[in-house]
Amino acid sequence: MGAVVVLGSLNIDSVVEVERHPQPGETLIGGDVVKHFGGKGANQAIAAARAGAKVGFVGRVGDDADGDAYLQRLASFGIDTMHVARTSGVPTGHAAIAVDGSGENTIIVSPGANARVTVGDLAPLGSLGAGDVLLCSLEVDTAVVAEAVRIAAARGARSVVNLAPYAPLPADVLDLADPVVVNKHENALLWADDLVPRSVLVTLGGEGSRWGQNVVPAQKAAAVVDTTGAGDSYCGTLAAALAAGVADADAMEAASAAAALSVTWLGAQP
Ligand code: RIB
């Protein structure tokens, strides 16, 4: 059974429930602000750990109380934080999130320390080997993600690359990833950029997910409270299943089940 190494972001999410999302230039009154742990990287790492994987994290937090809290948070899920570095004078990443009555969200990310992750932070990837999975998302510098995928490939490890938030990656990197994970919107942007990765898994919300010949229906959520963490739960669980040697379609089933569960609570993480 391989390990999962996550390269990605750690954010503190400030979440406000709203009846509907504001138009540009409009002010709305929402509910009380609630703080949750978030960030695509950390959400995915926690999903992978909950799915049973041995997980290590490569990223950055600020040298602040939020950074302290986040290191404890990851450790409480058994995630190896040895390679989460501290950046002085820069805040831990934050996200401002509005969630409406149907669970749909809008997110503004202030990257803070996440934007200070460099290629110099990738030394731990030297321990990757066959069977391991590198899981990346794009709230850290895309040049760093590209280099990480190349290092993983050189070491015989698999890369799962969640192209969220969407940014184009070099064609060689898109061809190394197996799979590139996109939602419908990101998939349209890939096509618009004329980029065709070798292996693409498209998540289709309530319509399920598609990866090559594998088409897996969505699992029905008991209740939809907040969809913020659904994509990350999917990616983290998928990576854990692939690292465990599970067949692609079964890994997608497990990921769909985790995504359905994740929408039943407010916030991106359990
Ligand atoms: O994917 C959801 C995440 O996006 C949130 O937790 C927020 O921090 C942003 O990174």
Alpha carbon nearest to ligand 1 atom 9, residue: 39
pLDDT of residue 263: 94
In a domain? residue 136: yes
Domain that holds residue 235: 4-9+39-89+115-262
Alpha carbon nearest to ligand 1 atom 7, residue: 39
The DSSP secondary structure of 30-41, one letter per residue, reads ----EEEEE-HH
CB 107 near ligand 1, within 6 Å: yes
CB 109 near ligand 1, within 6 Å: yes
In a domain? residue 18: no
Q: Could you confirm whether 100 is annotated as catalytic?
A: no
Cβ contacts of 213 within 8 Å, gap of 6 or more: none
Assign 215 to helix, strand or coil: strand
Answering whether pTM is above 0.85, one says: yes
In a domain? residue 268: no
In a domain? residue 155: yes
Neighbouring C-beta atoms of residue 221, cutoff 10 Å: 17
In a domain? residue 237: yes
In a domain? residue 256: yes
pLDDT in tens, 199-256: 999 999 889 999 999 999 999 898 898 899 999 999 999 999 999 999 999 999 999 9
- Nearest C-alpha neighbor of 100 from the set 208, 15, 181, 193: 15
Partners of 109 in the beta sheet? 95
pLDDT of residue 222: 87
pLDDT in 10s for each residue of the chain, 270 residues: 999 999 999 999 999 999 999 999 999 999 999 999 999 999 999 999 999 999 999 999 999 999 999 999 999 999 999 999 999 999 999 999 999 988 888 999 999 999 999 999 999 999 999 999 999 999 999 999 999 999 999 999 999 999 999 999 999 999 999 999 999 999 999 999 999 999 999 999 889 999 999 999 999 898 898 899 999 999 999 999 999 999 999 999 999 999 999 999 999 999
Strands (E), the chain: 4-7, 11-17, 34-38, 55-62, 80-87, 93-99, 105-110, 133-136, 158-162, 180-183, 200-203, 209-211, 214-216
DSSP 8-state code for residue 119: G
In a domain? residue 220: yes
CA angle at 143 for the pair 2 and 148, rounded to the nearest 5°: 15
Which atom of ligand 1 is least distant from the CA of 269? Answer: 6
Which atom of ligand 1 is least distant from the CA of 13? Answer: 8
CB 228 near ligand 1, within 6 Å: yes
The two structure tokens encoding residue 124 = 């731990």
In a domain? residue 108: no
Q: Would you state the torsion angle of the CA atoms of residues 111, 88, 43, 38, taken in this order, to the nearest 10 degrees? A: -60
Domain count, the chain: 1
CB 40 near ligand 1, within 6 Å: yes
Q: Residue 70 is part of a domain; what is its CATH number?
A: 3.40.1190.20
Cα–Cα distance measured from residue 79 to residue 128, given in angstroms and rounded to the nearest whole number: 16
Place of tokens 């739960």: 233
